[in-house]
Amino acid sequence: MERKWWQKVTVYQIYPRSFQDSNNDGIGDLKGIISRLDYLEKLGIGAIWLSPVYSSPNDDNGYDISDYRNIMKEFGTMSDMEELIDEANKRGIRIVMDLVVNHTSDEHSWFIEAKKSKDSKYRDYYIWRDPIDGSEPNSLKSCFGGSAWQYDEQSGQYYLHFFSPKQPDLNWENPEVREEVYDMMNFWIDKGIGGFRMDVIEMIGKQPDKMISSNGPKLHEYIKEMNQKTFGNHDLLTVGETWGATPDIAKLYSDPERNELSMIFQFEATTLDQIDGKPKWFTKPLDVLGLKHVLSKWQTCLEDRGWNSLFWNNHDLPRAVSQYGDDGIYRIESAKMLAIVLHLLKGTPYVYQGEELGMTNCKVEDISEVDDIESRNMYFEEIEKGTPKEELINRINRKGRDNARTPMQWDGTENAGFTKGTPWLHVNANYHTINAKACLEDENSIFYTYKKLIDYRKKNDIVVYGDYEMVDDVPDDVFVYLRKYRGQMLLVCANFTNEFRRINLDKFGRQTSFISNYDEGVIDLSSKVLKPYEAFAIEVK
């Protein structure tokens, strides 16, 4: 496989609303991001995935776009955006835009026109159906709860929205829609961006009359067309958000010979804590053996054709250390352990803002503190049904999307240095101890574990291209894997528990670790007692 820049970089995800406010209106903005580029350069990342910054009424915090060619007022101006692209490029950091084209906002001019008249050319940009027996055309559900169909009084028809009613789905069957999207993508490519993260891209081939939402029959045809008409001739990173991808589907997207995408985000590991067949809110304890098998499956299935993305969390998921580690007494150890495990796998790693500080979930006591539309919809639907408030708040504290969206914790001053105004979402009270300033001043901090791993990847092709192999003869909740490349071998070992665990890997004997979350140095692998959440990596001699 031809080598690409995006195989070697580490990507950092910014949720702009929560990253850095520069004008003290309580909302993060582009100038704020620019002011923090030196911090990101220090961390060593090579690209930023920027969650949406386009004009939006913010029903779903920017994932409802009303103008793809303009910047959200609260975030700044197009010239700020150009400055961001420029300043980032100067530091060797490329900007990956969030491409949200499964749907627009209902305040997008296309939808406003579509609603005005059935004869408008824009009507067919969206998906309209007549009522059946006086109600919804079928039983398709919105990902945010309730029906996926919204009734429009004026025309007497329903339109499709797989997310909120303020996010009507675009009709990808219409070639004009596809051309509009490609034009818009080229507008951004011409501005010098580094690629696209593609929001719920697996849904663009939907066939609502056949009850198909994801992985529709024309999906790959559309992606190939998009590739050919936009980024195909540019050296860009493209990553599709695909909740329903299996390994075979992942190969369709990321096999370079098929000319589709660089890679996808698949979510199998992140959903292992869910009770089968139930919504995301119903959870069970982490099954480490299951996690090892899922990670291993994805490492091996894309070995020859295709490419993996590597991530623990994002703006829709709980904080990594809260979900997979221990956000109490072993917060630092377990956050470093998660970094070591992920960053030495094969694929492109993604760091979600604050993960490099070990930021944690943030508990609320009442729904009035919750901003996230998904959590709020679930809460009010369930309250109607009589589910106790305490149970619902527990669910939100465990899985709600605001956990990842509380403001970035820069220092110990008011509002964690995020804003001098009133933050749009509460700051996690632990910012006095968990913040970037404290991390930067402590050479043993989580930040420097990330930095070291990111630098190591840059300098060592074995991390980027080496083969992967899981080591079996260890306790179920200890994860050991090997990477092999041109006669070299790496061994990575991680204890996923808050207890001691013994491993006996006789054939490796005494080795020296190059990174560890306890003390680095000589380790006797033939008889080693791992401390709680202990993790290390070795260049096997």
The residue nearest ligand NOJ at its CB is 63
* Catalytic residue from among 199, 202, 355, 534: 199
Sign for the pseudo-dihedral over CA of 68, 74, 79, 85: negative
Considering the complex, state which of residue 408 and residue 453 has its C-beta at the smaller distance from ligand NOJ: 408
In whole angstroms, the minimum distance from the beta carbon of 100 to ligand NOJ comes to 5
In whole angstroms, the minimum distance from the beta carbon of 63 to ligand NOJ comes to 3
- Told to judge if 365 belongs to the known catalytic residues of this protein, a careful annotator would answer no
Burial class (CB in 10 A: 0-12, 13-18, 19+), 271: middle
Instruction: Using alpha carbons, list the distances in angstroms from residue 46 to 18, 35, 172, 486.
Output: 21, 17, 33, 26
* Contact predicate 336/446, CB 8 Å: yes
Considering the complex, state which of residue 199 and residue 273 has its C-beta at the smaller distance from ligand NOJ: 199
* Catalytic residue from among 21, 241, 326, 374: 241
Residues 6+ apart with CB under 8 A from 285: 273
Report the chain's terminal Cα–Cα distance, integer Å.
28
Considering the complex, state which of residue 32 and residue 240 has its C-beta at the smaller distance from ligand NOJ: 240
Considering the complex, state which of residue 161 and residue 457 has its C-beta at the smaller distance from ligand NOJ: 161
* Contact predicate 170/400, CB 8 Å: no
65 binds ligand NOJ (CB under 6 A): no
**CA-to-CA distance for 24 and 423, rounded, in angstroms?**
9
**CA-to-CA distance for 97 and 16, rounded, in angstroms?**
12
Angle of CA points 146, 151, 154, to nearest 5°:
160
- Near ligand NOJ in 67-106, by CB under 6 A: 100
Considering the complex, state which of residue 177 and residue 494 has its C-beta at the smaller distance from ligand NOJ: 177
* Residue of 21, 60, 106, 326 interacting with ligand NOJ (CB under 6 A): 60
Question: Closest Cα to residue 80, out of 221, 233, 177, 191?
Answer: 191
The neighbour count for residue 153, using CB atoms within 10 Å, is 6
In whole angstroms, the minimum distance from the beta carbon of 415 to ligand NOJ comes to 24
Considering the complex, state which of residue 333 and residue 372 has its C-beta at the smaller distance from ligand NOJ: 372
Site string for ligand NOJ, 216-255 (x = CB under 6 A): -------------------------x--------------
CA 539 to chain centre: 30
In whole angstroms, the minimum distance from the beta carbon of 382 to ligand NOJ comes to 19
H-run or E-run covering 390: helix 389-399
In whole angstroms, the minimum distance from the beta carbon of 243 to ligand NOJ comes to 9
- Near ligand NOJ in 307-336, by CB under 6 A: 315-316
* Residue of 200, 263, 425, 530 interacting with ligand NOJ (CB under 6 A): 200
Task: Give the number of residues in contact with ligand NOJ, rule: CB under 6 A.
Answer: 9
Considering the complex, state which of residue 64 and residue 260 has its C-beta at the smaller distance from ligand NOJ: 64
* Contact predicate 44/451, CB 8 Å: yes
21 binds ligand NOJ (CB under 6 A): no
Strand blocks (E) in 417-477 = 467-470
265 binds ligand NOJ (CB under 6 A): no
In whole angstroms, the minimum distance from the beta carbon of 307 to ligand NOJ comes to 20
In whole angstroms, the minimum distance from the beta carbon of 62 to ligand NOJ comes to 9
Considering the complex, state which of residue 169 and residue 333 has its C-beta at the smaller distance from ligand NOJ: 169
Question: Closest Cα to residue 311, out of 349, 346, 341?
Answer: 349
- Told to judge if 183 belongs to the known catalytic residues of this protein, a careful annotator would answer no
Angle between helices 446-459 and 331-343 (to 10 degrees): 10
* Residue of 54, 63, 110, 196 interacting with ligand NOJ (CB under 6 A): 63
* Residue of 21, 199, 355, 371 interacting with ligand NOJ (CB under 6 A): 199
In whole angstroms, the minimum distance from the beta carbon of 165 to ligand NOJ comes to 13
Q: Which single residue is written with the structure tokens 């390994």?
A: 247
**CA-to-CA distance for 273 and 54, rounded, in angstroms?**
33
**CA-to-CA distance for 535 and 92, rounded, in angstroms?**
30
The residues with which 159 forms a beta bridge, in sequence order, are: 128, 150
* Residue of 163, 196, 330, 447 interacting with ligand NOJ (CB under 6 A): 163
The footprint of ligand NOJ (CB under 6 A) covers: 60, 63, 100, 163, 199-200, 241, 315-316
Supply the residues annotated as catalytic: 199, 241
